[in-house]
């Protein structure tokens, strides 16, 4: 077939006839006065074209390369022949650039969506889960301290009641490899949270809501599970790995497409924190079992939480603040479904059919915690020991 | 008065560049690149970049022949490793110095590093891209000297800082002129005659009009910048100097770029491969290469150049050669 030949020395093009032979290409000039008579060994030929196969460029040898340029049907055959001995990746590009446009767009969109999906929902969480194991515990404690120091000014800490809470924790029989510190915050919020490294904060509002000591134990069990399972850190490493995905994509593709991904990742974060909550519920329950504390207390705890949010909801309704209620909706995913899960879990596992132990010391501390004002003069330890006898 | 030749461009379609890229094909390449980059946790990136460039270069045509990007992913990967080695060793030595000198000197060290790295990135990136481009087997080449460029860069940067950025337009033109005037293909040399004053005028106009027109002036601004770059570039051989010509007009720029913007917005960016191809087509098909040179007898005069260190750095610093 006809082609243009360039010798690598000048830009002059020579009209040549290309014939494919056993293990190479025979290139001869069609005009007699320009004597080009070359044989290209197949294994030293590289394809230079990435264009849609209409114009094929082949290159031969070392710098300065000889080149031929050809088009038409024969050109595509020749390209196929050359790319067969080239790398798989290169032939993937050749393949891609020659597929019918509609099929290409539909097919590759589908593959891309599948890969992104599995990256966001499978690869990235797996990386997050396992990366956290490499991180030392001391780093986690440090990060936790830093986080806590940053929000400490917002917490109205009651040091006396905090001490009581820590005592309560020990009385329940809970243990951890982390150094657990518990804050009692003078705030009517019905809430509690755990910071990585062992700091737990419980708000007065929630303690006031509890109706028995083991509900408070269930709460601490739940928060302790967050700490022991390193949930916050897992979330950080996970979002870092989805950030990596985004940076890979936005490095060369338009920034706008990252918006989609970012939202997908956020959506994932949300569902992710939900699974972490469920995990903390289950692990918390096992702590209750280990210490022979009534497992249904976990269920009751959520009843109190629901009551708390119900009140909040009523307040919001009266304010008609849509934005706030939306926010509330997103951060408190389905308390009732969590309660249902807990019931199912306890009922299906026979090891939870034990008779709970009584714990008068813990109960006494709980009562003290609930009492509105605690005088410095109150002999806490004595009153507790009194109960014991 | 210098003479840049006087020729009518009207019947000169043969010297027009053209661009044949298709959005769907480019989309396919994007997909392959993204997938391989993900699977290899980012290591594939230099190869992906090579594929993008090979495709865009390959679809650009002059006088019935396509341009070729001869760079490879391997070259760029090596450049990437070297660049990281340089940066890491510099930071390591800074940390070392920080242990016994004051933070002030460390800060000065960081500024000095940036002062060298940015021109190094611009210089190296341009040199790599130019040297790996060929047409009909003849390679482009760049014969600039880094020390010379560094002095020019620092001098211009100081003036820009002293004038609170006003001198920026002059600086840009000085850099552009340096890079273009040291660029050759075969035995033909490129050069640039634009002035900072002209660019400043374009920028001021843009600055005044962009906000009141809610950025609808943007395509016109881009067109002005493009035409400024193209129409001030010329080819010289001996005493023969001929200017490039651009036929890009407001209407076409506006139509192409506004449609691109809408496409991007309505497809949340997924139309990028198509809009990119449309933009390339708009730019390329409006460039007329000067007549008066024998493009069939360019002689190979450059050597093989494969150092992609600067190129990786331009990428990392997000430096864009707008010209």
Q: List pLDDT tens digits, range A263-318.
A: 555 555 655 577 888 888 999 999 999 999 999 999 999 888 888 777 766 655 55
Residue A165 has pLDDT above 90, yes or no: yes
Share of chain A above pLDDT 70, in %: 79
CB contacts < 8 A (A, B): 148
Beta bridge partners of B54: none
What ranges do the domains of chain A cover? 2-98, 137-388
From chain A, pick out residues whose CB is under 8 angstroms from the CB of B270: 257
The pLDDT of residue A40 is 92
From chain A, pick out residues whose CB is under 8 angstroms from the CB of B51: 50, 93
Q: List pLDDT tens digits, range B1-12.
A: 456 655 544 446
Residue A113 in contact with partner chain B when CB distance is under 8 A: no
d(CA A227, CA B101): 41
Q: Could you write out the DSSP letters of every residue in B97-125?
A: HHTTS-HHHHHHHHHHHHHHHHHHHHHHH
Window 66-85 of B: residues touching A by CB (8 A cutoff) are 66, 68, 70
The pLDDT of residue A233 is 76
The pLDDT of residue B96 is 77
Window 82-101 of A: residues touching B by CB (8 A cutoff) are 89, 92-93, 96-97, 99, 101
d(CA A3, CA A27): 9
Beta bridge partners of A203: A185
> Between chains, do B269 and A253 touch, taking CB under 8 Å as contact?
yes
Residues of chain B short of pLDDT 50, as ranges, are 1, 8-11
Phi–psi pair at A49, nearest 5 degrees: -90, 140
d(CA A344, CA A327): 29
d(CA A70, CA B65): 10
Q: How far is A83 from chain B (nearest CA, A)?
A: 15
Residue A256 has pLDDT above 90, yes or no: no
Window 256-295 of A: residues touching B by CB (8 A cutoff) are 256-260
> Between chains, do A111 and B35 touch, taking CB under 8 Å as contact?
yes
Q: How far is B110 from chain A (nearest CA, A)?
A: 25
From chain A, pick out residues whose CB is under 8 angstroms from the CB of B28: 96-97, 99, 104-105, 108
Window 172-231 of B: residues touching A by CB (8 A cutoff) are 186
From chain A, pick out residues whose CB is under 8 angstroms from the CB of B22: 52, 101
Residue A321 has pLDDT above 90, yes or no: no
The pLDDT of residue B283 is 95
The interface pTM score, or ipTM, of the predicted complex is 0.83
> Between chains, do A11 and B298 touch, taking CB under 8 Å as contact?
yes
> Between chains, do B296 and A51 touch, taking CB under 8 Å as contact?
no
Q: How far is B159 from chain A (nearest CA, A)?
A: 32
Out of A4, A8, A102, the one facing B300 most closely (by C-beta) is A8
Q: Could you write out the DSSP letters of every residue in A115-131?
A: HHHHIIIIIHHHHHHHH
N-terminal to C-terminal alpha carbon distance within chain B: 26
The pLDDT of residue A388 is 34
Residue B272 in contact with partner chain A when CB distance is under 8 A: yes
Give the residue on A whose Cα is nearest the Cα of B305.
A63
Out of B65, B137, B270, the one facing A65 most closely (by C-beta) is B137
Out of A4, A11, A66, the one facing B138 most closely (by C-beta) is A11
* Peptide bond between residue A64 and the one before it cis (omega within 30 degrees of 0): yes
Out of B31, B33, B59, the one facing A111 most closely (by C-beta) is B31
How does residue A320 score in pLDDT terms, banded at 50, 70 and 90? very low
From chain A, pick out residues whose CB is under 8 angstroms from the CB of B50: none
| Residue environment code for A316-331, b if the CB has 16+ CB neighbours within 10 A, otherwise e | beeeeeeeeeeeeeee
From chain B, pick out residues whose CB is under 8 angstroms from the CB of A4: 65
Architecture of domain A2-98: Roll (2.30)
Residue A64 in contact with partner chain B when CB distance is under 8 A: yes
Residue B160 in contact with partner chain A when CB distance is under 8 A: no
Q: List pLDDT tens digits, range A195-251.
A: 888 899 999 989 999 999 999 999 999 999 999 888 877 777 776 666 666 666 655
The pLDDT of residue B56 is 92
Give the residue on A whose Cα is nearest the Cα of B71.
A48
d(CA B225, CA B229): 6
Interface test with A, best of B23, B27, B29, B31 (most A CBs within 10 A): B31
Q: Which residue has the tokens 């044989």?
A: A39
Share of chain A above pLDDT 90, in %: 25
Interface test with B, best of A36, A254, A260 (most B CBs within 10 A): A254
């Amino acid at each position: 077939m006809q082609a243009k030949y360039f010798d690598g020395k000048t830009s002059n093009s020579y009209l040549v006839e290309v014939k494919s032979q056993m293990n190479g290409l025979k290139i001869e000039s069609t005009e007699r006065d320009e004597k080009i008579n070359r044989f290209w060994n197949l294994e030293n030929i590289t394809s230079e074209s990435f264009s849609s196969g209409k114009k094929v460029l082949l290159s031969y040898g070392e710098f300065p390369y000889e080149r031929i340029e050809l088009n038409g049907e024969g050109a595509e055959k020749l390209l196929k022949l050359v790319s067969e001995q080239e790398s798989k990746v290169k032939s993937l590009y050749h393949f891609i650039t020659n597929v019918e446009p509609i099929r290409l767009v539909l097919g590759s969109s589908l593959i891309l969506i599948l890969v992104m999906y599995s990256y966001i929902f499978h690869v990235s969480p797996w990386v997050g889960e396992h990366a956290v194991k490499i991180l030392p515990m001391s780093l986690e404690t440090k990060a936790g301290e830093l986080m806590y120091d940053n929000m400490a000014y917002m917490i109205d800490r009651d040091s006396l009641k905090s001490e009581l809470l820590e005592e309560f924790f020990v009385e329940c029989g809970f243990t951890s490899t982390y150094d657990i510190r518990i804050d009692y915050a003078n705030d009517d919020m019905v809430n509690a949270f755990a910071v990585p490294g062992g700091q737990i904060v419980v708000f007065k509002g929630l303690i006031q809501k509890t109706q028995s000591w083991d509900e408070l134990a269930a709460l601490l069990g739940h928060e302790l599970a967050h700490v022991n399972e390193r949930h916050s850190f897992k979330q950080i490493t996970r979002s870092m790995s989805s950030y990596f995905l985004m940076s890979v994509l936005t490095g060369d593709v338009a920034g706008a497409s990252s918006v989609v991904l970012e939202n997908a990742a956020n959506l994932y974060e949300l569902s992710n924190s939900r699974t972490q909550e469920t995990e903390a519920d289950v692990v918390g329950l096992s702590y209750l079992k280990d210490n022979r504390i009534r497992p249904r207390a976990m269920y009751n705890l959520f009843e109190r939480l629901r009551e708390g949010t119900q009140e909040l909801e009523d307040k919001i309704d009266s304010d008609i603040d849509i934005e706030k209620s939306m926010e509330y909706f997103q951060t408190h995913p389905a308390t009732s479904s969590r309660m249902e899960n807990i019931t199912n879990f306890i009922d299906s596992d026979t090891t939870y059919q034990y008779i709970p132990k009584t714990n008068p010391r813990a109960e006494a501390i709980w009562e003290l915690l609930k009492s509105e004002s605690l005088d410095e003069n109150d002999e806490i330890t004595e009153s507790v020991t009194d109960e014991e006898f | 008065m210098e003479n840049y030749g006087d020729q009518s461009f009207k019947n000169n379609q043969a010297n027009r560049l053209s661009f044949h890229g298709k959005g769907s094909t480019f989309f396919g390449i994007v997909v392959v690149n993204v997938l391989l980059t993900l699977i290899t946790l980012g290591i594939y990136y230099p190869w992906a970049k090579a594929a993008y460039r090979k495709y865009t270069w390959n679809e650009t045509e002059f006088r019935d022949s396509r341009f070729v990007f001869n760079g490879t992913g391997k070259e760029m990967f090596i450049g990437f490793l070297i660049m990281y080695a340089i940066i890491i060793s510099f930071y390591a030595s800074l940390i070392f110095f920080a242990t016994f000198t004051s933070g002030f000197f460390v800060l000065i060290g960081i500024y000095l590093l940036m002062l060298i790295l940015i021109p190094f990135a611009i210089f190296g990136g341009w040199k790599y891209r130019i040297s790996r481009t060929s047409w009909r087997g003849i390679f482009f080449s760049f014969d600039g000297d880094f020390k010379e460029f560094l002095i020019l860069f620092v001098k211009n940067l100081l003036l820009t800082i002293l004038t609170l950025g006003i001198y920026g337009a002059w600086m840009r033109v000085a850099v552009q002129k340096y890079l273009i005037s040291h660029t050759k293909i075969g035995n033909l040399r490129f050069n640039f005659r634009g002035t900072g004053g002209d660019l400043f005028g374009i920028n001021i106009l843009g600055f005044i009009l962009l906000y009141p027109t809610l950025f609808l002036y943007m395509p016109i601004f881009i067109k002005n910048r493009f035409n400024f770059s193209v129409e001030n570039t010329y080819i010289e051989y001996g005493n023969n100097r001929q200017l490039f010509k651009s036929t890009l007009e407001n209407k076409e720029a506006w139509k192409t770029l506004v449609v691109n913007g809408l496409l991007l917005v309505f497809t949340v960016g997924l139309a990028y491969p198509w809009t990119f191809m449309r933009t390339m087509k708009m730019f390329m098909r409006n460039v007329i290469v000067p007549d008066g040179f024998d493009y069939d007898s360019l002689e190979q005069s450059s050597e093989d150049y494969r150092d992609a260190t600067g190129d990786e750095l331009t990428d990392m610093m997000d430096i864009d050669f707008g010209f």
